[in-house]
Amino acid sequence: MFRFNLIKLILLLSFTISAEALAAIQGDEKMILDQQGKPIPFALVKVDQQKPMPVDQSGQIQTTVSGDQVIIFAMGYETIKLSWEEWVALDEIILEEKTENLDQVVVSATRTERSVEDLPMPVTVLNSQKIQETGGMRLSEILREQTGLQIASDHGAGLQMQGLDSDYILILLDGEPLIGRTAGTFDLDRISVSNIERIEILRGPSSAIYGSEAMAGVVNIITKNNKEQSQATVALRHRSFNSWNPSLEAGITQKNWSSDIFIDHFRTDGFDLTPETVGQTQNPYQATTGQLKIRGKISPKLDLSLFGRGYLENSTGQLQIGRDENTELLDLSNNREDFNFNPTLRFKPHENWLFTLRGMSSWFTTQSSSRYQSDGLLFDQQDFSQFYHRTEFQTDYQIRPNQLLTLGLGQLVETVEATRYEDKNRFDAGYLFLQHQWDPGQKINIVSGLRADLHSQYGKRLSPKISGQYRISDKFSWQASIGAGFKAPDFRQLLLNFNNAASGYYVFGANLAEEGIARLEEQGLVAQILFAPENLGQLQAETSWALNSGFRWQIQEKTSLQLNAFRNTIDNLIEAAPIAQLVTGQNAFSYFNIRSVVTQGIELDASFQLAPKVSLSAGYAFLDTRDQEVLEGIDSGEFFKRNSQNQTQRVVRSDYGGLFNRSRHSGNFKINYQENLTGTNWALRAIYRGKFGFADRNGNLILDDKGEYADGWVSLNLTVSKTLGKGIFIEAGGTNLLNTATPAQPNNPGRVLFVGMKVPLIHANN
């Protein structure tokens, strides 16, 4: 009997030990919930330094590894850090909504999911709440409020980052590049923000994984995904200048498949900053966006996603040509079309392996025409057609829990046809990129990468990059990165001959600038020559090196400070600038090389929770730009100007203002207040841009005179919003409430007021 009881006791102890060991390995099933008890299906769980594990669509997870510390994070929620004992003891983990984005998951920085706190590079994530607070309808209106970013009014709403133009900033939509640039500038007003879930802004060179267009940084726009249940929402927004923006979002989820449909329409009567002349600064136009996303599991290890998007825009306007009694009126029309189709296959045969095959096909076309109003005869016709196809294969291999190796290779074809191009232009390219993410210790993160390009236009090129982060403490970390880039002049910068009827600006490739300005002068459209086009010269290829370094400091739970210092050195920078001012107040642009350029500065962001319902944030950016060749010329006495007494004198270094269209100082200040009595949210923002050079008035081709600067300005913006019963959302507010005029920036219409409403139609569980 004693022996039998002893055997039972041994078996019982063995079973208990085995159960405890199994629990220690698996950690039991957990639910990750928000404060309302709803699952968070996009949360990630990280055990020590191992790869984060996603929860399933019901917010449930069962860990397969053990460790000392468990970190649970999800976009828009505060991160929780638990000991392993605490993790095992809990069945449900509640995440609180957060005010900052330090622990949000980012894809664009490394092409793999990684939290911001683990990234050794400067990244900003704007979630849907921050996007909503701006009251913006187009992407430019969201980005203009971010520290260190400027919206340049050059042939559309172009983005400027770290002193570099839109040519060097890659715009991604759900991880895939968008095409359709006008001489290098991507018009941000083509992108509606109604269905954007978040925006990732990666500063600094990313050529090592994305290629030459990412020399300054990357903006990745992530659209909404329906993950849990079928739903549908309609929205309607109205603002000044008779601008209307209706939209529809619908999502359907069934078993392992889900789909999202988005339709957005925007129309406006435009605005006019020069009523004394015929033609508006912004002509009336309307644009429609349609988008379809389908995702599902073919098998437990194989996922398929399909993405399709279409964009249609048309505008009309008037323009007066000629002088005195010989004037004529023209009727203008302009159409833009943009179509994208992106299929993606993901195969995960093993926990440590992931294979991704991506396809991307994009078509972008514009048609512009102008006809005499008197008889309807054609005055001018311009067509532009671009096709871009890319196939890419990416392999991610988890070498060890603290090492991830990514290998990718791809092939692309790009063709362009345009009215005044002699032939059909075609580019072919192949590329390979390699990236290694390594966390050698609890305090160190290192990301290194190398990309090799073989391009039919500019041959072979290697673009290396390495980034590192050191955690001095749990609240303070230091980051640094260095990378190289390369960019050749493309056919648009050389040969484009473009006129946007919606905005009334012209863009001439460097090879056509002299002929184009002469033609505009004959038509009586030129008010003033800003640069002599015969002095532009032949465009050369660009090369660059860039350094970024800074810190993240979580001073207290609700107080944070982030700083990034940068320096970009570019040889043969291709600069876009106005070369003539038109009688309508718009400009004609072209391109030229600057032999050696330096852009350097700092970007500082701070946030503070003043009270449970009041939060403050502020940002400041300092930018210093210089053309090294100009400085050498100043030192050798080659540049002259006239003083207030009309006397000729030499230009000295203190006169030199750097590159055109760059503000030395800029910043923002924001107050968010959740008012309890009415349940409304108030978001008050003040955006500042310092003075910037906009034209060469004295003919020496550099910025060196006070009369060549546009005044700085402040825009005061306010958004008030409230969520009513059944999820109905309403908003009202305005931008540029002080009605500040910025004559050198024709994309600013003055004070704009808006109202909007979003109504859920379907919100039922399957």
Q: Which domains does the chain have, with CATH numbers?
A: 29-94 (2.60.40.1120), 106-221 (2.170.130.10), 222-762 (2.40.170.20)
Q: Which pLDDT does position 19 carry in this prediction? A: 40
Q: CA 371 → CA 328, 382, 726, distances in Å?
A: 10, 12, 52
Phi, psi torsion values for 511, nearest 5 degrees: -75, -15
Q: Is 85 exposed, middle or buried (0-12, 13-18, 19+ CB in 10 A)?
A: exposed
Residues of the chain with pLDDT under 70: 1-28, 36, 41-42, 57, 75-77, 97-117, 183, 207-208, 212, 227-228, 324, 420-423, 457-459, 488, 491-492, 500-503, 537, 763-766
pLDDT at 307: 95
Nearest Cα neighbor of 188 from 222, 140, 132, 146 is 140
Q: Are 680 and 720 in contact (CB under 8 A)?
A: yes
Q: Spell 319-358 as b/e; 16+ CB within 10 A means b.
A: bbbeeeeeeeebbbbbbbbbebbbebebeeeeeeebbbeb
Q: How far is CA 211 from CA 52, 359, 487, 575, in A?
A: 27, 17, 9, 20
Assess contact for 648 and 639: CB atoms under 8 A.
Answer: no
Instruction: Report d(CA 336, CA 289) in Å as an integer.
Output: 12
Rounded Cα distance between 427 and 211, Å, is 14
**How far is it, in rounded angstroms, from Cα 127 to Cα 114?**
16
> Which residue, among 440, 653, 474, has the nearest Cα to 554 in the 3D structure?
474
pTM of the complete model: 0.79
Burial class (CB in 10 A: 0-12, 13-18, 19+), 101: buried
pLDDT at 679: 85
As a whole number of angstroms, the distance between CA 670 and CA 606 comes to: 10
Whole-angstrom Cα distance, residue 156 to residue 502? Answer: 10
Structure tokens at 292: 């379809």
Nearest Cα to Cα of residue 589 among 541, 651, 661, 683: 661
pLDDT for position 612:
85
Report the 10 Å Cβ neighbour count for 278: 17
Name the CA dihedral angle for 174, 683, 238, 724, rounded to a multiple of 10 degrees.
90
Nearest-CA neighbor of 492 among 542, 418, 543? 418
Rounded to whole angstroms, the maximal C-alpha distance in the chain is 123
**Res 57: pLDDT:** 65
Instruction: Specify the pLDDT at position 228.
Output: 64
Quote the tokens at residue 194.
């109604």
Residues 6+ apart with CB under 8 A from 677: none
Residue 763's CB: how many other CB atoms inside 10 A? 12
**Residues 262, 224: Cα–Cα separation, whole Å:** 9
Q: Rounded to whole angstroms, how far apart are CA atoms 531 and 536? A: 8
For the chain, how many residues are written?
766
Confidence at residue 409, expressed as pLDDT on a 0 to 100 scale: 95
